[in-house]
Amino acid sequence: MTTATFTMPLRVRYVECDMQNRVFNAHYLTWVDMAHTEALSELVGGYESMVAAGVDVVVVGAELDFRAPARFDDRLEVRTTVHPPGNTSLRSDFAITRDGVLLAECRMTHVCVDTTTYSKQVWPQWLRDKLPSLD
Residues 67-108 pLDDT 10s = 999 999 999 999 999 999 999 999 999 999 999 999 999 999
Instruction: State the average pLDDT over residues 57-76.
Output: 98
133 in a structural domain: no
Q: What is the pLDDT of residue 17?
A: 98
Judge whether 124 and 55 are in contact, CB under 8 Å.
yes
60 in a structural domain: yes
pLDDT band (50, 70, 90) for residue 1: low
Tell me the residue range of the domain where 91 lies.
Answer: 4-128
Measured between alpha carbons, how far is residue 110 from residues 23, 37, 74, 88, 133 in Å?
Answer: 25, 12, 29, 8, 16
134 in a structural domain: no
Q: What is the pLDDT of residue 46?
A: 84
90, 92, 83, 87: which is closest to 134 by C-alpha? 83
Q: What is the pLDDT of residue 134?
A: 75
What mean pLDDT is reported for the chain?
95
CATH number of the domain that residue 77 is part of: 3.10.129.10
C-alpha triplet 4, 95, 10: angle, nearest 5°: 95
Q: What is the pLDDT of residue 12?
A: 98
Q: What is the pLDDT of residue 68?
A: 98
